[in-house]
Chains A and B, each alone.
Chain A
Amino acid sequence: MKALRLVCYAVVLTGLLISGRPSFAEDTIKIAYTDPFSGPFASGGDEFLKVFQFIFARKNAAGGVLGKKLELVPFDDKLQPAEALIALKNVTDQNIPFLMHCTGSNVGAALIDGVSKHNARNPDNRVIYLNCGALATELTNEQCDFWHFRFSGSVEMRAAARIKALPADVKKVYLLNQDYLFGQSIQKDSKKWLQQMRPDIQIVGDELMPFGKVQDFSSYVEKIRASGAQSVVTGNYNRDLNLLIKAAVDAGLNVRFDAFLAHLIGGPTAIGAAGEGRLTSIMEFNPNAAAEANATEALKVALDWRKDHETDFTASPFVTMIDMLTAAIEKAGGTDPMKVALALEGAQTKDLMGQVNTMRKDDHQLLMPFYAGVFTKDVKYDSEHTGLGWKSYMTATAQDLTLPTTCKMKRPD
């Protein structure tokens, strides 16, 4: 018994020693990151975490910023606003000046509000919210905030790129979207841009389906067939997209699927040959686009990633975000959130593809290009080792996607 107790003390003591060590470690610049790492959406958060580790390692190998290394501090938000606010509390308790978050507009809205209030009350312990994927357009319109910077194209920008990328011979489209905030805003913005850019296109179907609840899509396929649509324009992703395309192929329905997020991690594997030649997606980046544009640095990053991972590197905006942030820290000469935020406003950085991205001062939305990719065998680099990959067939430049904003930002004095 006494021996057992001794062993316990020993274990506890070693644990304390090990956990205590980082406080003696070298001075780093901490960047917090919150996303779902457990629950049904964990696959996304888990993948993004790996991408950030990869990008941080690359940045640190290049010397870090101001002679310091970047350190990633992850928090699980379980895709719930309340959990994200707990993460925010942890972040401010640890005096971390930057918080990244990539999944879920509902969480994003809560964080914008939470960060804004915290910063107003604690001017000596402010946080900048770096949004890398909460896409609702409202976040940089009605809900825009000085402390929120979005490094990912909004739904409105993506919808503009999506409609622009519809081939000229498509005359009848069917809109099918998930019945929740994201799907509804895709539906709204798709209709808006169809009307403005392609008045020749007739909308033969416009439908919302329950999010993640449909097990058998064959009835939707029959509806689409009956409508005579040439293309299904859909914001569906993951399961809701995979099952739809599978059901369509099984039923021999020959239509295009012009999706927004078909390239999301796991999508190409689940869809496979069923999507060949008929599936398109609106992407931030893909290795084939880099190869075509002779963007050597972009290609190197994508291939470095490919060496150690089963998935694709599509997160070029993450690189842009970290590049812009480190440039702003260097310009500000430190990590003071106020100075960094001011340095970020209007900042310009070349992304991996060599295109200039601008952080617009008016609404803190990154103006960036999108690439429309078609899923085909005719590519140099396949996706997720499926033998098929994304071949870009159209580019929507940052200028194309510079859309007006209704943001009336309150700036701190």
Chain B
Amino acid sequence: MKVNADLRLKDVPGQLVFALEPISTNDGNIVGVVHHRDVVIGGHITVNVTFEVRSDRMLQRILDTWKERDIDVARMGSLYETFPIECLLVGDISSQELNNIMEEIESMEDMESVDVRYSVSAASDGKAAILFGKVRKREAVERVERFLEERAADGGFLLVRGLGD
């Protein structure tokens, strides 16, 4: 599990190591640390840390240690690994058809987010829309692409898929 947290630390030397040490002692893997040294509020600074832990039990141990050390957790959230989706739809596609496509994709399993941008061409058969989003499982990328391939074949428009990397 990947976790992202904002920690409020006392603005004194050694506090950062003091805050990060429980993550490594509990077999966590620190992915990134953003240290906001320039914003000091009430003698505290904010550190944003992203780390991976193997289980909820390990995460709880880290939280307990922070509590013992008087480190304030201002915000915490889980992060999922996501996979990008990007496709370009080209041709005479009505806005109603695009809305339908978007609605169906939004309702698919494992969708994290999806968005669309349209071109402003006057020529109906030259129009394009770019669709981009994120899914939580690799299989979901294939599901969305398969769905779009079918719709493109039915609707007679061109589908340009991303490379996936």
Q: Do A and B come from one complex?
A: no
Q: Which residues of B contact A (CB under 8 A)?
A: none
A interface residues (Cβ-Cβ under 8 A, vs B)? none
